[in-house]
Amino acid sequence: MHMTIAETETLVRSVFEANGVLPETALSVAFALVHAEAAGQYGHGLRRIPAYIGQALSGKVDGRAKISSSRPRPAVLSIDAALGYAYPAFDLAVDELPVIAREQGLALGLIHRSHHAGVMALTVERFAEQGLVALMFANAPASMAAWGGRKRLFGTNPIAFATPVAGEEPLVIDLALSTVAAGKIMAARQKGEAIPEGWAFDADGQPTTDPNAALKGLMAPSGGAKGAALALMVEVLSAGLTGGNFSGQASSFMEPNGAPPSVGQTLIVIDPSAGTESAAGRIAELAEEIASEDGVRLPGRRGQSSRRKAIEYGLEIDDELIAMISALAKPEVLQPAIADRPEAPAQKRA
For residues 5 and 87, give the distance between their C-alpha atoms in angstroms, rounded to a whole number. 18
pLDDT of residue 67: 98
Ordered strands of the 200-201 beta sheet: 207-208, 200-201, 218-219
Among residues 176, 159, 154, 150, the alpha carbon closest in space to that of 249 is found at 154
For residues 15 and 123, give the distance between their C-alpha atoms in angstroms, rounded to a whole number. 23
- Give me the domains of the chain, ranges plus CATH numbers: 1-58+300-341 (1.10.1530.10), 67-178+221-299 (3.30.1370.60)
For residues 282 and 268, give the distance between their C-alpha atoms in angstroms, rounded to a whole number. 21
303 strand-pairing partners: none
**Phi, psi values for residue 172, rounded to 5°:** -130, 130
pLDDT of residue 190: 84
User: Considering the entire predicted model, what is its pTM?
Assistant: 0.88
Mean pLDDT per 10-residue segment, the chain (350 residues): 95 96 98 97 94 97 98 98 98 98 98 98 98 98 88 94 96 93 83 92 89 91 92 97 97 95 98 93 95 93 95 94 91 45 40
201 vs 140, 197, 226, 252, CA distance in Å?
18, 9, 18, 18
> CB-based contacts of 338: which residues, under 8 Å, 6+ apart?
19, 20, 56, 57, 63, 331
Evaluate whether 185 touches 209 at the Cβ level (below 8 Å).
no
pLDDT of residue 331: 60
135 strand-pairing partners: 161, 268
